[in-house]
Amino acid sequence: MTTWITICDTCKQEGWETGDMSQTDGEALATLIEAAATGLQQVKTRRVSCLMGCKKACNVAIQGAGKLNYTLGEFEPTTEAATGIVAYAMAHSASETGQVPYREWPQAVKGHFVTRHPPLPQDE
Protein backbone atom coordinates (compact mmCIF):
# COMPACT_ATOMS: atom_id res chain seq x y z
CA MET A 1 0.00 0.00 0.00
CA THR A 2 1.25 3.49 -0.82
CA THR A 3 2.61 5.71 1.93
CA TRP A 4 2.70 9.42 1.19
CA ILE A 5 5.35 11.79 2.47
CA THR A 6 3.72 15.22 2.57
CA ILE A 7 6.41 17.89 2.83
CA CYS A 8 5.82 21.47 3.92
CA ASP A 9 7.65 23.58 1.35
CA THR A 10 7.09 26.88 3.15
CA CYS A 11 8.96 25.92 6.35
CA LYS A 12 11.61 28.41 7.39
CA GLN A 13 13.87 27.81 10.31
CA GLU A 14 14.94 30.54 12.70
CA GLY A 15 17.58 32.71 11.07
CA TRP A 16 16.46 31.83 7.54
CA GLU A 17 16.36 35.49 6.56
CA THR A 18 20.10 35.84 7.17
CA GLY A 19 20.92 33.19 4.54
CA ASP A 20 20.71 33.40 0.77
CA MET A 21 16.89 33.01 0.81
CA SER A 22 16.84 31.53 -2.72
CA GLN A 23 14.63 28.76 -1.34
CA THR A 24 12.95 27.96 1.93
CA ASP A 25 14.31 25.29 4.25
CA GLY A 26 11.18 23.28 3.42
CA GLU A 27 11.92 23.48 -0.30
CA ALA A 28 15.47 22.30 0.31
CA LEU A 29 14.25 19.35 2.42
CA ALA A 30 11.54 18.52 -0.16
CA THR A 31 14.12 18.34 -2.94
CA LEU A 32 16.27 15.96 -0.88
CA ILE A 33 13.30 13.74 0.08
CA GLU A 34 12.08 13.60 -3.51
CA ALA A 35 15.53 12.51 -4.65
CA ALA A 36 15.74 9.84 -1.94
CA ALA A 37 12.28 8.49 -2.90
CA THR A 38 12.89 8.44 -6.65
CA GLY A 39 11.81 5.15 -8.19
CA LEU A 40 10.11 3.76 -5.08
CA GLN A 41 6.71 2.25 -5.84
CA GLN A 42 5.41 2.10 -2.27
CA VAL A 43 6.38 5.66 -1.27
CA LYS A 44 5.18 8.83 -2.98
CA THR A 45 5.92 12.47 -2.18
CA ARG A 46 3.97 15.67 -2.46
CA ARG A 47 4.58 19.24 -1.42
CA VAL A 48 2.08 21.42 0.39
CA SER A 49 2.30 25.03 1.42
CA CYS A 50 2.07 24.96 5.21
CA LEU A 51 1.49 22.14 7.65
CA MET A 52 1.07 24.78 10.39
CA GLY A 53 4.02 23.54 12.43
CA CYS A 54 6.13 26.66 12.05
CA LYS A 55 7.74 26.42 15.50
CA LYS A 56 8.99 22.92 14.59
CA ALA A 57 10.15 23.56 11.02
CA CYS A 58 10.92 21.57 8.86
CA ASN A 59 7.77 19.40 8.89
CA VAL A 60 6.57 16.30 7.07
CA ALA A 61 3.55 14.02 7.38
CA ILE A 62 3.72 10.27 6.83
CA GLN A 63 0.30 9.09 5.65
CA GLY A 64 -1.38 5.95 4.36
CA ALA A 65 -5.02 5.02 3.84
CA GLY A 66 -6.42 3.03 6.75
CA LYS A 67 -3.22 3.41 8.79
CA LEU A 68 -1.85 5.46 11.66
CA ASN A 69 -0.46 8.72 10.29
CA TYR A 70 2.34 10.80 11.75
CA THR A 71 3.61 14.36 11.72
CA LEU A 72 7.34 14.82 12.22
CA GLY A 73 9.22 18.09 12.58
CA GLU A 74 12.38 19.96 13.52
CA PHE A 75 14.44 18.52 10.68
CA GLU A 76 17.48 20.14 9.14
CA PRO A 77 17.38 20.01 5.33
CA THR A 78 20.12 17.37 5.03
CA THR A 79 20.58 14.19 3.03
CA GLU A 80 20.70 12.21 6.30
CA ALA A 81 17.29 13.56 7.37
CA ALA A 82 15.78 12.93 3.94
CA THR A 83 17.01 9.33 3.71
CA GLY A 84 15.80 8.64 7.26
CA ILE A 85 12.35 10.04 6.47
CA VAL A 86 12.12 7.91 3.32
CA ALA A 87 13.32 4.80 5.19
CA TYR A 88 10.67 5.36 7.85
CA ALA A 89 8.02 5.82 5.14
CA MET A 90 9.10 2.50 3.60
CA ALA A 91 8.63 0.78 6.97
CA HIS A 92 5.26 2.52 7.38
CA SER A 93 4.21 1.24 3.97
CA ALA A 94 5.19 -2.32 4.88
CA SER A 95 3.25 -2.17 8.17
CA GLU A 96 -0.38 -3.28 8.10
CA THR A 97 -1.36 -0.67 10.70
CA GLY A 98 1.22 2.02 9.98
CA GLN A 99 2.87 1.43 13.34
CA VAL A 100 6.60 0.78 13.08
CA PRO A 101 8.42 -0.74 16.07
CA TYR A 102 10.83 1.74 17.66
CA ARG A 103 13.79 -0.59 17.10
CA GLU A 104 13.15 -0.26 13.35
CA TRP A 105 13.09 3.54 13.28
CA PRO A 106 15.99 5.11 11.41
CA GLN A 107 18.14 7.18 13.76
CA ALA A 108 17.42 10.29 11.69
CA VAL A 109 13.72 10.31 12.70
CA LYS A 110 14.11 9.57 16.41
CA GLY A 111 13.09 12.59 18.46
CA HIS A 112 11.22 14.20 15.55
CA PHE A 113 7.70 12.83 16.09
CA VAL A 114 5.15 15.56 16.82
CA THR A 115 1.73 13.89 16.47
CA ARG A 116 0.10 10.56 15.66
CA HIS A 117 -3.34 10.45 14.02
CA PRO A 118 -5.57 7.39 14.00
CA PRO A 119 -6.94 6.32 10.64
CA LEU A 120 -10.29 7.75 9.62
CA PRO A 121 -13.25 5.43 10.20
CA GLN A 122 -14.23 3.33 7.19
CA ASP A 123 -17.93 4.00 7.77
CA GLU A 124 -20.13 6.40 9.67
Is the pTM for the entire model greater than 0.85?
yes
pLDDT value of position 57: 87
Each residue's pLDDT tens digit, 14-41: 877 787 778 899 999 999 999 999 999 9
What gap in Å lies between CA 64 and CA 5, rounded to an integer? 9
pLDDT tens readout for residues 85-113: 999 999 999 999 999 999 999 999 999 99
